[in-house]
Amino acid sequence: MAHDHDDSDAEDPKGVSRRGFFTAVGAGAIGAATLAQAQPGAPTPAAPSDDPTKVTLLVNGRRRRLLVEPRWTLLFVLREKLGLTGTKVGCERGECGACTVLVDGVPCYACMTLALEAVGHEITTLEGLMRGEELGPVQQAFLIEDGLQCGYCTPGQVMAAEGLLRANPAPTLEEIRLGMSGNLCRCGAYAHIFKAVEKAAELKKAAGR
């Protein structure tokens, strides 16, 4: 596609399971649609459009205009349409955090966010933390404290840490643990990751960032 470069089944207190609720709702919707079709002159429900939509995304301070299909995730658009491959593909179901980006300064799973949902919001990726070729404080801290092993989850870890420190510039260790809990490291480098976040807080304070 061309673009412009500029469950659980746990029951609630009333005894209705989540799956049961959605099953009932789905059955009701099917019944309503059947009834509508049976009535003479009833309008036929329009199918959702899959046509690409022209959008403008604000990414790392730049406005990027492109065509986006409604089904495309923010992760797909960032990597495949804008070439921002610092955002990694992980589980693609909101469990690992490898694809974490900031949306209006808040950590967000790009794999669980539709690109259309990001319109009108400020998106920051790993590349957006740099100043030219200079690493940002959080990135520097991960290098200093060796907060990585294989490195695949590191971009998401860095973005989660950046979001945490924007909201809480001086977190305690327990707050760091909680703030980073949505990002998994299969190598188990958590102790170093937590130290890196502590170091990042120091570096950001020293840099006034």
Q: What is the pLDDT of residues 38-69, one digit of tens each?
A: 455 555 555 556 789 999 999 999 999 999 99
Question: What share of the chain has pLDDT > 90, as a percent?
Answer: 74
Q: What is the pLDDT of residue 108?
A: 98
- How many whole angstroms separate alpha carbon 121 and alpha carbon 116? 10
pLDDT at 19 over 60: no
Domains of the chain, by residue range, sit at: 7-46, 49-129, 131-209
- How many whole angstroms separate alpha carbon 117 and alpha carbon 44? 28
Question: Which one has a higher pLDDT value, 4 or 179?
Answer: 179
Q: What is the pLDDT of residue 112?
A: 97
Token pair recorded at residue 90? 């992980």
pLDDT in tens, 24-42: 444 444 444 443 444 555 5
- How many whole angstroms separate alpha carbon 199 and alpha carbon 168? 14
Q: Which CATH superfamily is domain 131-209 in?
A: [2Fe-2S]-binding domain (1.10.150.120)
Stretch 83-102: mean pLDDT, rounded?
97
Q: What is the pLDDT of residue 2?
A: 43
Tally of CA atoms within 13 A in the half-sphere of 17 that contains its CB: 7
- Report the predicted TM-score, pTM, of the whole model to 2 decimal places: 0.76
pLDDT in tens, 130-182: 999 999 999 999 999 999 999 999 999 999 999 999 999 999 999 999 999 99
Instruction: Provide the residue count of the chain.
Output: 209
Q: Which CATH superfamily is domain 49-129 in?
A: Beta-grasp domain (3.10.20.30)
Q: Is 179 helix (H, G, I), strand (E, B) or coil?
A: helix
